[in-house]
Amino acid sequence: MSAQTELPQIGTDSSEATGSCCGGSCHSDAAPQSTEGAVTTVYQVKGMTCGHCEGAVSSEISEIEGVSSVKAVASTGQVTVVSATPLDEEAVRAAVDEAGYELITQA
């Protein structure tokens, strides 16, 4: 006779544990922000080589007022930023610099 272990089901109930690598601490329970009327800008960043790099750049740019979404892709060096209004390029440059990378230009 073999013993069976019942594993918890992760279902659609949002109150259940997430099972993600961060324990859900990086996920918000807030409703997604609308992107209607938002500005999407793609920047080229030099020096990103991995997921940690992507996270560092995303984190710094996310702190700029008006930014609602950031997606950095190390393999291409592209960082896509969605914001309420066009961002000051110098603010983006400073954020990328703070993360330890170099903003090349808008892609």
Residue boundaries of the structural domains of the chain: 39-106
So what's the pLDDT on residue 107? 78
So what's the pLDDT on residue 46? 97
Task: Give pLDDT tens digits along the chain (107 positions).
Answer: 444 444 444 444 433 333 333 333 343 333 344 557 899 999 999 999 999 999 999 999 999 999 999 999 999 999 999 999 999 999 999 999 999 999 999 87
CA–CA separation, 93 and 9 (whole Å): 44
CA–CA separation, 103 and 78 (whole Å): 10
Tell me which DSSP letter residue 107 carries.
-
Q: Report pTM.
A: 0.67
So what's the pLDDT on residue 106? 87
CA–CA separation, 100 and 86 (whole Å): 23
CA–CA separation, 48 and 102 (whole Å): 9
- For the domain made up of 39-106, the CATH class stated in words is alpha beta
So what's the pLDDT on residue 44? 98
Q: Say if residues 79 and 106 touch (Cβ distance below 8 Å).
A: no
Distances (CA, A) of 25 to 11, 21, 38, 68, 97: 18, 9, 26, 18, 26
Distances (CA, A) of 94 to 11, 56, 72: 42, 13, 16
So what's the pLDDT on residue 13? 41
